[in-house]
Amino acid sequence: MSGKKGAPENKGGAPGRGRRHSISLDEIMRYLFSASPRLQIFTINALFGERIPPDSASAIKLNADFIVEDRDSLLERFVKIEADLICEVRRGESSAEDYHFEFQTEYIGCGPMAERLFQYDFSRAIERGNAGAGHGSEALKALEMGNASNSRAEDGSHLLIMPRTIVIHIEKHSKIPSSYELSIFKDGFRSLYSYPVFKIWSHTAEELREKELYMLIPLKLAEIHGEIDSIYRRKDGKSKREDIRNLILTTLTPVERELGIIHEGRLISRADYDRIYGAIVYLFGYYIDVYKLDILLGEEEGVLMDDSYPQSILEFIKANDTAVLKERIEAAEKKWNEAEAKMEQKIKEAGAKLEQERKEAEARLEQERKEAKARLEQERKETEARLEQERKEREKLQLRFEKLKDAISTIVPGFSFD
């Protein structure tokens, strides 16, 4: 996602001139997708047009880091690429299906985005293909049904199944397409890869609730990040305060209303409901911390919020202090960083092992070369000795022949061998 690849963060609080503070969408989406499998499947069904039974299927987050060979660097042999989120879904005894989500806050260009998506999906297909499963018509039948594992096709070729992928764009941009497309030409044939785009700003909080995209409702609050940032930079004083206040209220009010409907209708579990609310509180706290809204939103110094904000949001914040939520997210990120450090160590160890194997292979080849050279030299000497021996034998025969001629000439005068 662009949040992790975009502009550097200004750790000191409010954004500095010319720099934009980044929302940690990585942490928010990992937090949300740690919800129940049922809530994850609601999201997958809505975004991918699936009809997966939410109460009988399982959904788990997969490791979305892949180690690939770096062909552009003379120094590093391997690099790590990171997809945002890949979920594996199993329907009963059927094979697993992968669903890939990329979350973007910025537009990086159609070409680079499509190439990145293809690289992620191909890396996952290769990783999954190492396990393999099934052969022939059964694999193709499963593929047609949409639940195939990687295996072999009827013609014996290796079959790779890429994840189904969607890009979720958070902030509005005029150049964002309805899908990212990539064409690959090989041997005169063209293969087209298309990755659909879901634009958060094109859907109201009510529409997200009606489509059972409950997990994406907090992103309505992330959607206004660019507008808030722009207001903060171009305005001063009371005008800035009122504009930011109105923008947050305009966005937060329908979000709070839809979450009230979800809660009253018991559409999701209490744990999932609290998780969604927690993401909203995190984003709300982010705006307070980064843009100094504790001063901008209150008439008096030290006033954090007032009664103009939805009461349920205020009550939830009081019951679930943002510092506690932030601490939990930081703890989760710490675990992620530790896992990342372990992965880096494994990469270094793998690189060292490969380097050692390369040196050993070179040493073996050098030894084999020397042995081959020695054998050839020995064969040359043996051949020269054999030829020398044959030459001497011929000379002996020639001498005996000459003596025989002399003897016969003595016995039979005038006799000739001509």
CA distances for 343 relative to 79, 234, 288, 347, 372, angstroms: 11, 43, 35, 6, 42
Widest distance between CA atoms in the chain: 149
Under the banding of pLDDT at 50, 70 and 90, the label for residue 72 is: low
Cα–Cα distance, 124 to 117 (Å, whole number): 11
Provide the b/e sequence for 95-110 (b: ≥16 CB within 10 Å): bbbbbbbbbbbbbeee
Name 293's Cβ contacts closer than 8 Å, sequence gap at least 6: 244, 287
Which whole number is the average pLDDT over 44-61? Answer: 90
The pLDDT of residue 258 is 94
The pLDDT of residue 164 is 94
CA 64 to chain centre: 5
The pLDDT of residue 305 is 45
Over residues 346-381, the pLDDT tens digits come to: 888 888 888 899 899 999 999 999 999 999 999 999
